[in-house]
Amino acid sequence: MRRSHRILAVLDDADTQHVVQACTGPAVSARDGALTLLALTTGLRACDIVALRLSDIDWRGATVGIVQQKTKNPLTVPLAALVLARLADYVLDERPASGDDHVFLRSVAPYTGLADHASIYRVIAQTFRTAGLAQVKAGTSFLRHNAASKLLAASVPLPTISAVLGHASQESTSTYLSLDADRLLECVLPVPVGGRS
């Protein structure tokens, strides 16, 4: 039986800019800004952000290298300069002293790693509210869709997008084809003159 997929929602350029401005401004903590920017630009899953360790960040190479929680596959993704800078702000100036080597720690004692994906969702949702986008139901799944849409818009091949998103199968990535609305419209045939009602 054929399955149909809904067309996934993504951020437009103006809303993306609002989020980036909020993440780099004083109204959002360095931790929350870095976490949101990381999810926005890399499409990492919440479980991988929760599990991220300080040793996973290659500061000189501007990459994050992990073994994915879901697929157990290794993954290395580049970090945009903006993300790297906000991460550095957090690690150097805001991150509490702790024996826990998770990158993102709780903001109140005890200073341990974040509990689960719900913690990530709360951070991202609060950041979006600060950015004036309270109506957007934003979490890492939404931001994964958004990252995929940006890659598609840049004409990145599906196998590459599949690798960046850490999909075990390229078929998982085909869902994101619905994100490229402009190219989908090119596939639509005109309605014949006699076919209009």
Q: Residue 149 maps to which CATH number? A: 1.10.443.10
Encode pLDDT of 87-113 as tens digits.
Answer: 999 999 999 999 999 999 999 999 999
Task: State the virtual CA torsion across 166, 167, 168, 171 in degrees, nearest 10.
Answer: -160
Asked whether residue 192 is assigned to any structural domain, the reply reads no
168 φ, ψ (degrees, to nearest 5) = -70, -30
Q: Show the domain range for 62.
A: 13-184
Domain count, the chain: 1
**Higher pLDDT residue, 7 or 66?**
66
Q: Which of 174, 180, 143 is nearest to 161 (CA)?
A: 174
**pTM for the whole structure:** 0.79
What is the tens place of the pLDDT at every residue in 177-197? 555 555 545 555 666 666 555
Instruction: Indicate the SS3 state at residue 103.
Output: coil
pLDDT of residue 125: 94
| 196 in a structural domain | no
Q: Best-predicted range by mean pLDDT among 9-23, 64-78, 117-131?
A: 117-131
